[in-house]
Amino acid sequence: MAMHIVMVNPEIPPNTGNVARTCAATGTCLHLVRPLGFSIDDRHLKRAGLDYWPYVRLFVHDSLEEFLEEYEVKQKRRMFLATTQGGRIYTEPEFRDEDMILFGCETKGLPRPFIAERKDMAIRIPMSEDTRLRSFNLANSVNIILFEALRQQGFPGLE
């Protein structure tokens, strides 16, 4: 059993490499949803993940629709949407084993209609209102939310 990180249309290889490294270190499954802004064998992607790629449980999906058909419709998985548009702070939900946390691409985030249809599952990381930043770095956001989910579950399988 494991948590699942889902990167929808990631664009920047080092972000994905860093997320892969986190997933390898925590036993978390990583899902990449095409289109990707890079090739999976991109040297920058591999470099960011260093030698951890063999330990990543990686799943690649051709589209968001394909991913949703499998995990939302067929498997009825709980899916949290990490977005600046989230109505709840990421520490509010009670995360469970096998939950999926979706993150959008670095420049656009998750599609707005997709968020609107699932607004009750949209979570956010609080930020200063005075900031000029639109959001945190994608890899950092994954780490913040994933480690809260793992903390709530007592860091299963981790020392």
Average pLDDT by consecutive 10-residue portion of the chain (159 residues)? 96 90 96 90 64 88 97 96 95 98 95 96 90 80 98 94
What is the C-alpha separation between 50 and 116, in angstroms, rounded? 37
Contacts of residue 125, defined as CB under 8 A and 6 or more positions apart, other chains included, come to 82, 89, 90, 136, 141, 144, 145
What is the C-alpha separation between 49 and 15, in angstroms, rounded? 9
Counting every residue, how long is the chain? 159
We find that the CATH architecture of domain 4-152 is: 3-Layer(aba) Sandwich (3.40)
The pLDDT value recorded for residue 132 is 59
